Structure 1
Amino acid sequence: MSFNIKAILFLIFLLSFQGLFFSPIQAALPCECLEDRILTLTDPPMAGYDILLLQERLAELTYYHGPLNGIYSVELAKAVASFQEENQLEVDGEVGPSTWAALAGETMPAAGDEKRKGPQGEITIEVDTYSRVLTLYVDGKVFKRYPVAIGKPSTKSPVGEWAIISKSKDWGDGFGTRWLGLNVPWGIYGIHGTNKSWSIGRAESQGCIRMYNRDVEELYELVPLKTRVKIIGQRLPVKVNRPLKPGQMGLSVMQLQDNLLKIGIESGYRDARYGETTEAAVRELEAQFQLKLDGIADWNVLYLLDLPG
């Protein structure tokens, strides 16, 4: 099955379910992780962040000594060809899956012989974008920690509380060997492997959480569907300039959930979905201030929570 078909089937899967974990999405725009293009000499020259990653990696391996500018130049193509020749690859100056894999092989940790016993209990995941570490918890206790790559500053990883809603193997070269899809309502995000293993520990992705392939393969076997995933990090406040009501989704809803929690009203998971728990939290606020008990975040509720711009 081609990657494009898998992506389409994933969108259909998302749209097929309602409720806490399987809510419909407003616009499932895939993150740019979906693209893993072939890099080659062109006129005008190719440019982009993936080329900058290539330059940095070849510079680390002492093949490239030119500027780190994200442009696929003749000098960079020569460095690629030198690397390919020394690593018994086809020498064509182009960077595709085989060359990326060889570049990754320099830093890929060796897989251990020991197989880890699966955890028993409630499993949750926390991704700390400050330390760039994914922690697997069982019944609230640390089971294992993994290094990860997170979204770069221009394409931040989605801070919030999500759930794993799909598991798949071999989505495509850019995704490594495993994919764990998250129910972020404004795009396709997930936890996956990588063919650029040296990016682990950096802010280098288009928003997804990258892991070493051996680590994501282990995690894939340990976590079931509906596992909760909390992503911790900086998220700029959002001003809400329209009333909100049950069934809506997006950053405005997440800000509503945040501000309810700030005043001590539990609104459930910070998942950007105006579900039953968020509606109940709004009703609690309405009751405290003797407002109409309808569970709708109208202008009265928004002003009480200091949400309007």
Structure 2
Amino acid sequence: MTHLAKKIGLIMGILVLSLGLIAVPVEAAENEAIIINKSNNQLAFFEKGRLQKVFPVATGSTKSLTPEGKFSLVNKVKNRPWYKGNIPGGDPRNPLGARWLGIEVPGDWGHTSGNTYGVHGTNKPSSIGTFASSGCIRMYNQDVIWLYERADENIPIYITSSSSSFPALAANYGGVQALFSENLYYGSKGESVEILQRILHITADGLFGPKTLSAVKKFQKTNHLVVDGIVGPNTRSALFNK
């Protein structure tokens, strides 16, 4: 092989590798999403198009403080300093907690750099589940660490106020699926059972056992459905559209 041919081969190899590296975050962004529902102060994380986990959060003390719409996760910081109070990262007094996931919101400080609004930890765990922040989304520190390790930059973040379930919201937003079509009953196993369990906020082990049966019956009774413990068309409809 000539020296020129070797050079061309090396350049092509670098280009292919570079393209591959560039494609990774785009693919990740298509398969992941965060949905925050201000109505019940909960955050859902979707990965590979599936609902993985739901967390309690705190949002703005007034409705307008936490913006609603489709945004992006644009930066991630461990132990971010609280510049306003001149408190270093990692300090127990730091209100931003253990992790910061910056949200791109048009018009924020730094020209949508994710420095104003974010999902972050807190030094006030008693505020979780309430309307308490100046606009950011607060999480328990152990929860935001879990999310930080899994959520990639550039993934979409949807913030809304809705009475719909997370699967229904995901279906409406498109690109994120967390639904199932088969009937489920005592003894069923698999991914669809895990989705059901996450919707019902119980341990997602993929096995339709006594706890799942009890949760399904409770849901059916609350929604004035036939209380038979079977997740058929009517129960599925109520689960996905509530």
TM-score category, normalised to shorter length: 0.3 to 0.5
Please identify which structure carries the higher strand content: 2
Q: TM-score, normalised by structure 2?
A: 0.45
**Higher relative contact order by CA 8 Å / sep ≥ 6: 1 or 2?**
2
Q: TM-score, normalised by structure 1?
A: 0.36
